[in-house]
Structure 1
Amino acid sequence: MNWICPHCREPLVKVERSYHCETGHCFDQAKEGYVNLLPANRKRSRDPGDNREMVEARKRVHAADVYRTLAEAVAAYFKELSHASVLDLGCGEGYYGGVVLEHAPKISMWGIDIAKPAVRLAAKAHPRGRFAVASAYEVPLGDSSMDAIFSVFAPVGESEPARLLSHEGFFLNICPAARHLWQLREHLYADPKPHKEVAAALPGLALEKQEKIGFSVALEPPLLADLVAMTPYAYGGQRESKATLEQLGVFEVQMEFLLQCYRREQATA
């Protein structure tokens, strides 16, 4: 099993450091080991996805294991898998995929993200994984090719999980719960609103299980600034409130997440 061509959807065959399809399209592998399968005519900007500053901020937050409790909860869904193909859909710099590999070392890890700086870091961190710059709305992998898929805070093409999953496969979606980062949002916004706790309707899939996990973390000012920089709050909130973050000292904030596990809908007689 390998990547498929984003232009003609034919299988890509790796020859030395390049991927080729039968119709003649060619994609070179970067020195870090990933391949760019996002055609230029499908980009909405010159450098889509998270920029380098956001990626580096996220890398520092993850290096401090601020989200380790969440990562362990995600990995628990995969620990029984062996010799299975798992896709990290919106892999970022590969933090969650790395924790999954710690718990399930025999799986085959695949990862895509639209942000090239993030994919470059993921490929460097996990050389035995396979990573590509690609869209989550047109994943360059074949039908029924994945035994499991997970996505942490990433946009997902509604029809892609069902297309990609094998018959017995599952899709794990992780999204913010109602009061995720509530104290931070109270500081940045005059009238913060809770996140809506809604399970997405995904064609061909049914929600099998949903669980909520939460924990608190105490952040020093530099790490708190990185947390803001890696989230949508980097572009929102009151400017005056952001300016006072570094004066808060150690800041305790609540983390709260929904883990939603989907499986294929069972055909009715």
Structure 2
Amino acid sequence: MHLQCPRCRKPLHVHQPSRGVYCDNKHHFDPAPEGYLDLIPGDKNPKNSDSRALMRAKRRFLEQGHQLPLVEAITALLAPLGAHELIHLGCGEGYYCRTLAARLPGWQFAGIDIAKNTIFAANKAQPDGQFVIADPVRAPLLPGQAQVLLVNDLNIKTELLVSWLAPGGYLLYLQPGPRQQWQLRTALNPVSMEHPLSWPTLTGLHHLSQQRCQFTIALDQELRGFVVETSRFGWRASAEQRHAFIQQGPDELEQDLLLTLWQKSS
């Protein structure tokens, strides 16, 4: 992963003795003892990190394989491209980097996330990856160097994504489809209407392919609680609605993800 200084935007170089990085303006960033880099100068906002309980719940949910159909869909789109370095913007605790590494031999994986505890977990679980604490929306990526970017529904300006990609580089963009978490949405708002299917359009990139990934997750009371806790639909619900969904909600939940693959001109 080619990085630039978060203070002056000069290229960062690796300092071999310390394994830290520095720029030509002598800004230096030491690695944490565990090996990851922190490229957010100054104090961190505690709101940018999940609680330990929530992070453990997310980890348990993912490791149970509930999102494997999505992983397989991503693999099918990326495998024909040949081995590259993939940078996951908003990588969380690194689940997708780990699972894709097992399916894409020869690839390298890196991730950027703003939460320190998730980057700590990602680095610990995949020490051969490269994980950095930084804001994915303003990632400290050196322009024109990224081979493959994986972005899941982040509000990142298209011009930035295009600028980060190397000539011929790829962008795999994930976004929710019309029926994403449909049972949760209708439980919280019975008059919810399904929006028409709409694929993204990104200027400056060549559209290669698209795929709609739909599957269902079997729910029990524990998983319904997890879904309400982590879904943006659940965040808007009242305490009474959340309680009703957890106690008496559906036995399954639809997942509906849209995957679009783009390429930058050479």
Matching residue of 1:38: 40
Identify if the C-alpha distance between structure 1 residues 140 and 237 changes in structure 2 by more than 3 Å, giving closer, same or farther.
same
- Does 2:27 correspond to 1:25? yes
1:207 CA displacement: 3.0
Deviation at 1:202, TM superposition (A): 3.2
8 A Cα contact 2:168 2:265, kept in partner = no
Do the aligned partners of residues 243 and 125 (structure 1) sit closer, same or farther apart at CA in structure 2, a change above 3 Å counting? Answer: same
Alpha-carbon shift at residue 256 of structure 1 (Å)? 0.8
Point out the more displaced range, 184-193 or 168-177: 184-193
Q: Please state whether the residue corresponding to 2:88 is helix, strand or coil.
A: strand
Map residues 4-19 of structure 1 onto 2, 5 A cutoff. Answer: 4-15=4-15, 16-19=18-21
Aligned equivalent of 2:246: 246
Alignment pair present for 1:224 and 2:224: yes
Figure out how many residues of one structure are paired with residues of the other and give that number. 263
Deviates more, 1:94-103 or 1:148-157: 148-157
Structure 1 letter corresponding to 2:212? K
Runs of 5+ in structure 1 lacking a partner? none
Cross-structure match for 2:155: 155
1:96 is displaced (CA, Å) by: 1.2
**Alpha-carbon shift at residue 58 of structure 1 (Å):** 1.9
Kept in 2: contact 1:112–1:135 (CA 8 A): yes
Deviation at 1:80, TM superposition (A): 3.7
Match of 2:86 in 1: 86
Deviations 1:199-247 (A, max 9, x none): 4443412433222121112111112211222221342123212112332
Query: Where do 1:1-269 residues align within 5 Å?
Result: 2-15=2-15, 16-40=18-42, 46-47=45-46, 49=48, 51-52=50-51, 53-194=53-194, 197-248=197-248, 251-264=251-264
Contact 1:84–1:108 (8 Å) recurs in 2 = yes
Let me know the Cα RMSD of the aligned residues: 2.4
**Residues 110 and 131, structure 1, Cα contact 8 Å, conserved in 2:** yes
Note if contact 2:142-2:164 (Cα within 8 Å) is conserved in structure 1. yes
SS at the partner of 2:240?
A: helix
Q: What is the distance in 2 between the residues matched to 1:195 and 1:207?
A: 23
Query: Following the alignment from structure 2 to structure 1, what is the Cα–Cα distance between the partners of residues 207 and 195?
Result: 19
Distance 1:191-1:120 versus aligned 2 partners, 3 A rule: farther
Q: In 2, distance between residues paired with 1:141 and 1:227?
A: 32
Matched residue type, 1:47 = P
Note the alpha carbon deviations across 1:116-154, whole angstroms, 9 max, x for none. 222121111111111111122322122221221111233
The more displaced of 248-257 and 99-108 is 248-257
* Aligned partner letter, 1:170: Y
Higher helix share: 2
Taking a change above 3 Å as real, the CA distance of residues 55 and 12 of structure 1, as seen in their structure-2 partners, is same
SS at match of 1:122: helix
Gaps of 5+ in 2: none
- 1:27 maps to amino acid: F
Q: Does the aligned pair in 2 maintain the 1:139–1:160 contact within 8 Å?
A: no
SS of residue in 1 equivalent to 2:147: strand
Give, as a single letter, the amino acid of the residue that structure 1 aligns with 2:209: K
In structure 2, the CA distance between the partners of 1:54 and 1:248, relative to structure 1 (3 Å rule), is same
Distance change (3 Å), C-alpha of 1:104 and 1:81: farther
Maintained 8 Å contact 1:55/1:92: no
Deviation of the 1:82 alpha carbon: 4.6
Deviation at 1:73, TM superposition (A): 0.7
TM-score using structure 2 length: 0.88
Between 1:100-109 and 1:79-88, the stretch displaced more is 79-88
Question: Is the CA contact 1:78–1:103 (under 8 Å) kept in the aligned structure 2?
Answer: no
